[in-house]
């Protein structure tokens, strides 16, 4: 009985991988041969470029109408949400790891007093995450943020549109450099 259950799980996983590869081809026009899908990927954005050997590990949402560019050997974990706007975008450098429940967005609403937030124009600024960056669990990366190569964002850090230098370790709300890698 156990052998049948293991076999059925393998068939299910293979079917999911085939489905997502076809979905990416249909929505983005891109063939993703070596991309690994280990859970549900909700593809609400057709303006996505994915590098080689990318791994989606769990329920992930790729949203918006702006460019999302994901480099080679990137790992994006369960519960992550990426929203890219038409005039902005999100770029993730190669060999970057993004832990579960990270939120990356390139826009927010205006904050003019007296107006409803949904009637105010969006404020959009591109988000750039460098190469070999580690973003720990529950981080929030907001519009205009630029994270340098080899940086680390500690768990629950909020990057509020700042430039984070290479090799920096950032923590807190808002995120501040607490030290540098040796």
CATH number at residue 152: 2.160.10.10
Q: What's the CA gap between 116 and 176, in Å, rounded?
A: 32
Q: How confident is the model at residue 61 (pLDDT cuts 50, 70, 90)?
A: very high
C-beta of residue 173 within 8 angstroms of C-beta of residue 153: no
Give the residue numbers spanning the domain of 105. Answer: 33-180
Query: Who has greater pLDDT, 3 or 74?
Result: 74
Given CA atoms 44, 84, 18, 97 in this order, what sign does their dihedral have?
negative
The 10s digit of each residue's pLDDT in 95-146 is 999 999 999 999 987 777 776 777 788 889 999 999 999 999 999 999 999 9
d(CA 104, CA 84): 8
In a domain, 2, yes or no: no
Total tally of structural domains belonging to the chain: 1
* Model pTM score: 0.86
What distance in Å separates the CA atoms of residue 100 and residue 2, rounded to the nearest whole number?
Answer: 30
Residue 4 lies in a domain: no
Pairwise CA distance, residues 32 & 54, whole Å: 9
| 24 found inside a domain | no
Is residue 9, in this structure, part of any structural domain at all?
no
Cβ of 180: how many Cβ atoms within 10 Å?
13
Domain membership flag for residue 104: yes
Quote the pLDDT of residue 8: 76
Confidence of residue 170 (pLDDT cuts 50, 70, 90): very high
């Amino acid at each position: 009985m156990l052998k049948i259950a293991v076999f059925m799980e393998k068939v299910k996983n293979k079917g999911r991988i085939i489905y997502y590869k076809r979905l990416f081809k249909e929505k983005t026009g891109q063939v993703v041969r070596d991309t690994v899908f280990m859970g549900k990927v909700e593809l609400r954005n057709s303006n996505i470029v994915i590098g080689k050997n990318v791994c989606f590990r769990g329920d992930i949402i790729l949203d918006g109408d702006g460019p999302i560019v994901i480099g080679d050997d990137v790992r994006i974990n369960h519960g992550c949400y990426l929203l890219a706007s038409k005039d902005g975008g999100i770029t993730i450098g190669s060999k970057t790891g993004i832990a579960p429940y990270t939120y990356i967005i390139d826009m927010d609403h205006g904050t003019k007093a007296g107006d409803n937030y949904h009637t105010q124009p969006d404020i959009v600024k591109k988000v750039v995450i460098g190469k070999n960056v580690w973003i720990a669990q529950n981080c929030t990366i907001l519009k205009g943020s630029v994270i340098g190569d080899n940086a680390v964002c500690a768990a629950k850090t909020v990057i509020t549109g700042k430039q984070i230098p290479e090799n920096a370790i950032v923590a807190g709300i808002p995120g501040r450099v607490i030290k540098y890698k040796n």
